[in-house]
Chains A and B, each alone.
Chain A
Amino acid sequence: MSEPAHPVPHQILVVGVNHRTAPVELREQLAFPAQHVDGALQDLLTLPSVDEGVILSTCNRVEVVAVARDGNAGVAEIEDFLKRQPDVHLKPTRDHLYHHARKNAVRHVFRVASSLDSMVVGEPQILGQLKEYYAIAQQAGTVGSILHRLFHRSFAVAKRVRQDTGIANRPVSVGSVAVDLARRIFDRLEEKTVMVIGSGAMGEALVRHLVENGVRSLMITNRTFERAVELADRFEASPIRFEDYGRYLRLADVIIGSVESEEALMTRDTAAEVLRERKQDNMFLIDLGVPRNFDPLINDLDNVYLYHVDDLADVARENLRGRESEADKGEEIVDQEVEAFHRWLTSLDQVPTIVALKRKLDEIRQGELRKSLESSLKDVSERERKAIEDLTAAMINKILHAPLTRLKQRPGGDADYDDALRALFDLDEEPGQGRPPEADQDEEQLPARLPEGRPGRGTVASAPSRRRPG
Chain B
Amino acid sequence: MYQSLLQATAGFYLLATGAFILHLFSQRESFSRAGQWLLLAGFVGHAVKFVFLFNDAGFPALAQTAATHSFYGWLMVGVYLTVQLQYRLPILGGFVAPLAFLMSLRSIALGEPGLETPPALLTYWLPLHVTLALLGNAVFALAFAVSVVYLVVRRQLKQKRMSGLSRTVPALETLDRLNKIFLVWGFPFMTLGILTGSVWAHAQWGNFWSWDPRQITSALTWLLYGILLHGRLTAGWRGRKAAVWTIAGFLIVLGYFLWGDAFFLSRHGGRFE
**Chain A contacts to B: CB under 8 angstroms:** 163-164, 166, 169, 181, 183-187, 279-280, 282, 299, 302-303, 305, 307, 311, 314-315, 318
Residue interface bits B233-255, CB-to-A below 8 A is 1, else 0: 00011111100000000000000
CB <8 Å contact, B173 and A315: no
Q: Is B227 an interface residue (CB 8 A)?
A: no
Contacts of A280 in B (CB 8 A): 236-239
| Residue on A nearest B169 in the bound complex, by CB | A184
19 contacts between A and B (CB under 8 A): A163-B28, A166-B27, A169-B167, A183-B171, A184-B166, A184-B171, A185-B157, A185-B171, A185-B173, A186-B173, A187-B170, A187-B173, A280-B236, A280-B239, A299-B158, A303-B240, A305-B158, A314-B160, A315-B162
Q: Is B153 an interface residue (CB 8 A)?
A: yes
Contacts of A305 in B (CB 8 A): 157-158
Residue interface bits B156-188, CB-to-A below 8 A is 1, else 0: 011010101011001111100100000000000
A254 to B28, CA, bound (A): 31
Contacts of B160 in A (CB 8 A): 307, 311, 314-315
Find B157's partner among A163, A166, A184, A279 (CB 8 Å cutoff): A184
User: What is the CB-to-nearest-CB distance from A226 to chain B, in angstroms, rounded to a whole number?
Assistant: 36
| Residue on A nearest B173 in the bound complex, by CB | A187
Q: For the A-B complex with A185-B172, A282-B172 known, give 11 more contacts whose Cβ atoms are closer than 8 Å.
A: A166-B27, A166-B164, A184-B153, A184-B166, A187-B170, A187-B171, A302-B241, A303-B240, A307-B160, A314-B160, A315-B160
Contacts of B27 in A (CB 8 A): 166
Known: A166-B27, A166-B164, A314-B160. A303 touches B238 (CB 8 A): yes
Pick from A184, A302, A318 the residue with the most CB of B within 10 Å.
Answer: A184
**Chain B contacts to A: CB under 8 angstroms:** 27-28, 153, 157-158, 160, 162, 164, 166-167, 170-174, 177, 236-241
Pick from A164, A185, A186, A315 the residue with the most CB of B within 10 Å.
Answer: A185
Known: A187-B171, A187-B173. A302 touches B240 (CB 8 A): yes
User: What is the CB-to-nearest-CB distance from A145 to chain B, in angstroms, rounded to a whole number?
Assistant: 33
A11 to B228, CA, bound (A): 71
User: What is the CB-to-nearest-CB distance from A297 to chain B, in angstroms, rounded to a whole number?
Assistant: 13
User: What is the CB-to-nearest-CB distance from A272 to chain B, in angstroms, rounded to a whole number?
Assistant: 13
User: What is the CB-to-nearest-CB distance from A55 to chain B, in angstroms, rounded to a whole number?
Assistant: 36
A185 to B158, CA, bound (A): 11
Contacts of A279 in B (CB 8 A): 236
A303 to B238, CA, bound (A): 9
CB <8 Å contact, B240 and A186: no
User: What is the CB-to-nearest-CB distance from B163 to chain A, in angstroms, rounded to a whole number?
Assistant: 10
CB <8 Å contact, B174 and A303: no
Contacts of B171 in A (CB 8 A): 183-187
User: What is the CB-to-nearest-CB distance from B156 to chain A, in angstroms, rounded to a whole number?
Assistant: 8
User: What is the CB-to-nearest-CB distance from A275 to chain B, in angstroms, rounded to a whole number?
Assistant: 10
A279 to B234, CA, bound (A): 10
Contacts of B167 in A (CB 8 A): 169, 184
A315 to B163, CA, bound (A): 11
Contacts of A185 in B (CB 8 A): 157, 171-173
Contacts of B173 in A (CB 8 A): 185-187, 282
Closest 8 CB pairs of A and B: A279-B236, A187-B173, A187-B174, A303-B239, A187-B171, A280-B236, A311-B160, A185-B172
A6 to B121, CA, bound (A): 93
A240 to B98, CA, bound (A): 53
Contacts of A299 in B (CB 8 A): 158
CB <8 Å contact, A282 and B239: yes
A187 to B27, CA, bound (A): 21
Find A181's partner among B157, B164, B174, B241 (CB 8 Å cutoff): B157
A186 to B239, CA, bound (A): 12
CB <8 Å contact, B177 and A187: yes
A271 to B102, CA, bound (A): 44
Contacts of B153 in A (CB 8 A): 184
User: What is the CB-to-nearest-CB distance from A63 to chain B, in angstroms, rounded to a whole number?
Assistant: 32
Contacts of B162 in A (CB 8 A): 184, 315, 318
User: What is the CB-to-nearest-CB distance from A41 to chain B, in angstroms, rounded to a whole number?
Assistant: 39
User: What is the CB-to-nearest-CB distance from B146 to chain A, in angstroms, rounded to a whole number?
Assistant: 13
A65 to B2, CA, bound (A): 65
Pick from B153, B170, B173, B237 the residue with the most CB of A within 10 Å.
Answer: B173
| Residue on B nearest A308 in the bound complex, by CB | B160
Find A302's partner among B28, B170, B177, B239 (CB 8 Å cutoff): B239
| Residue on B nearest A177 in the bound complex, by CB | B162
